[in-house]
Amino acid sequence: MPLGYVLIPSKLKCPDCGAENPPGKRFCGDCGGTLLLSEEKTFVDEPTSAGELSSVNRGKVRTGYLIGGGLTAAIFFGLFFWANNYTYTERVWRDLGYGFGYWETVTRTIDPAIQAFLLVIAIIGLVAVAYGLVSRK
């Protein structure tokens, strides 16, 4: 059953005498027996089309795109700029052969593939924000 649907029994059938009783009753009006819900149920608040969301749910989805996309974009743009500017030094032994060599200090940066990945995720976050802004109200 899709979310947002509420089931209401259309009739209550007495298991003892078989009499049908109006919804909301706990005991049979004819014999006084305990009532059970019938298998037949009706839908309330049914959407007009299968894919349509109520205005409340549509607003929640839109807000989710704005907040989630905004946070994603901010975090990954921050990581991208940090990775783009981050350098570290490392001491490396340069072997010249025959047991000779020297220590050299090398400056390295974050791998460009990782930087590209961070940038792509940040752009996806911006696309989600844009979708949240232009989605129908």
Q: What is the arithmetic mean of pLDDT over 125-134? A: 85
Contact between 33 and 17 (Cβ < 8 Å): yes
> 40 and 59: one domain?
no
Q: Quickly state the pLDDT bin for 9 (edges 50, 70, 90).
A: low
Instruction: Note down the domain range covering 65.
Output: 55-134
Shared domain for 37 and 73, answered yes or no, is: no
Tell me, yes or no, whether 80 and 129 share the same domain: yes
Residue appearing with tokens 């791998």: 111
**Nearest Cα to Cα of residue 33 among 6, 13, 55:** 13
Same domain, 16 and 81: no
Q: Are residues 31 and 59 both part of a single domain? A: no
Residue 50 in domain: no
Q: Are residues 62 and 27 in the same domain?
A: no
Asked if 31 contacts 19 with a C-beta cutoff of 8 angstroms, the reply is: yes
Q: Choose from 15-24, 59-68, 118-127 the range with maximum mean pLDDT.
A: 118-127
How far is it, in rounded angstroms, from Cα 20 to Cα 14? 6
Please indicate, yes or no, whether residues 83 and 39 belong to a single structural domain of this protein.
no
Q: What pTM was computed for the model?
A: 0.47
b/e code 70-95 from CB counts within 10 Å (16+ = b): eebbeebbebbeebeeeeeeeeeeee
| 80 and 111 belong to one structural domain | yes
